[in-house]
Amino acid sequence: MAGFAGAGGAAGMSGAAGMSGAGGACNLPVCGNAECGTVSDACGSTNCGVCTPPETCGATQPNRCACVSTACSGKNCGMIADGCGNLIDCGGCTLPEVCGGMTPNECGMGVCTPTSCAAEGKNCDSISDNCGNTLNCGTCPVNQTCGGGGTPNVCGCTPTSCVQEGKNCGTIPDGCGNMLNCGTCNLPATCGGTGVANVCGCIVMSCAAQGKNCGMIDDGCGNQLLCGACIMPDFCGGGGTANVCGCAGSCAIFGFECGTHTNPCGGSLFCGSCPGGMTCQAGSCI
């Protein structure tokens, strides 16, 4: 988090954040209508998530989830899965041909032997029996969806990741009933420090927020802030408060240990006398 932060804004650790300037931080892009993948601009990139199978990211439009149906894909009879969780009726056969007589879901001579859910390794929703009819293969348990692991008509769950969720600290659910450890933050950043859960960040404290108006101070995030200069006769710390303009006019502040001196803050200062055997010269006992 190196760099010189201006007098305002927030410093974070999410994505490729830009340099913090006098007007605030460089803000990462927002997803807006994007449903998946990453969106980028000059400040960096933002992860907009992943699609739920069988949908894929960008199948029809950039950063949008969609599933492209395979339609009948060369088949000419019976009900077949379209690859998007639906069944398509691909027509019927003309006798003496039957559906699946030689090849599943294709018209041909012979006797069709229907398949089963178990034989096809399927356990959810409906599939074709290869002979023109459909089979109901059941439903999925909690935390799983049909095709959720990427295989059509098989119960599964594709866990998310810390990177996909744009998180870099603490723990988050993976969407499949487990928890992910997304790491820890490097001080002075804290987890959720800028108000975004599970994202490392640090709130930049401006000069005004810290009640300072002169000199250099730490912004609370490892950078230095220039808080300005004082107008004479005030000087920085002159009132006894660091980085605050003031003019208390004490002997100690001006480095006098003896004698009477003009007080830059008004009036005069008597700073005492020297011990025996010493004389006061230019405010010092010699």
- CA nearest to 65, candidates 30, 34, 104: 34
In this structure, are 63 and 98 located in the same domain? yes
Instruction: Report d(CA 20, CA 8) in Å as an integer.
Output: 9
| 244 assigned to some structural domain | no
- The pLDDT value given to residue 22: 38
In this structure, are 193 and 258 located in the same domain? no
In this structure, are 83 and 126 located in the same domain? yes
In this structure, are 101 and 141 located in the same domain? yes
| 213 assigned to some structural domain | yes
Instruction: Report d(CA 170, CA 230) in Å as an integer.
Output: 44
- State how many domains the chain has: 4
| 277 assigned to some structural domain | yes
φ, ψ dihedrals at 69, nearest 5°: -65, 140
Distances in Å between the Cα of 279 and the Cα atoms of 140, 253, 263, 271, 276 are 97, 21, 21, 13, 8
In this structure, are 94 and 134 located in the same domain? yes
Residue found by looking up tokens 């399927």 in the block: 122
Distances in Å between the Cα of 72 and the Cα atoms of 90, 106, 109, 204 are 6, 10, 20, 59
| 28 assigned to some structural domain | no
**Cross-strand pairs, 56:** 66
What is the residue range of 114's domain?
47-158
Q: Cβ distance 11 to 201 under 8 Å?
A: yes
In this structure, are 230 and 153 located in the same domain? no
Q: pLDDT tens across 218-248, in order?
A: 999 989 999 999 998 888 998 889 999 988 7
| 9 assigned to some structural domain | no
Tokens (6 digits) for 108: 């041909």
Q: Cβ distance 182 to 198 under 8 Å?
A: yes
Residue spans of alpha helices (H) in the chain: 117-120, 251-254
With a CB cutoff of 8 Å and minimum separation 6, the contacts of 203 are: 10, 11, 193, 194, 220, 221
In this structure, are 187 and 117 located in the same domain? no
| 38 assigned to some structural domain | no
Please, which pLDDT band fits residue 9 given cuts at 50, 70 and 90?
Answer: very low
Q: pLDDT tens across 181-199, in order?
A: 999 999 999 999 999 999 9
In this structure, are 66 and 122 located in the same domain? yes
| 62 assigned to some structural domain | yes
Q: pLDDT tens across 125-184, in order?
A: 999 898 888 999 999 998 899 998 889 899 999 899 999 899 999 999 998 989 999 999
| 32 assigned to some structural domain | no
Q: pLDDT tens across 249-279, in order?
A: 778 877 889 999 888 777 788 999 999 889 9
In this structure, are 55 and 112 located in the same domain? yes
Q: Look at 16-30, 46-60, 116-130, 177-191 and tell me which has the smallest mean pLDDT.
A: 16-30
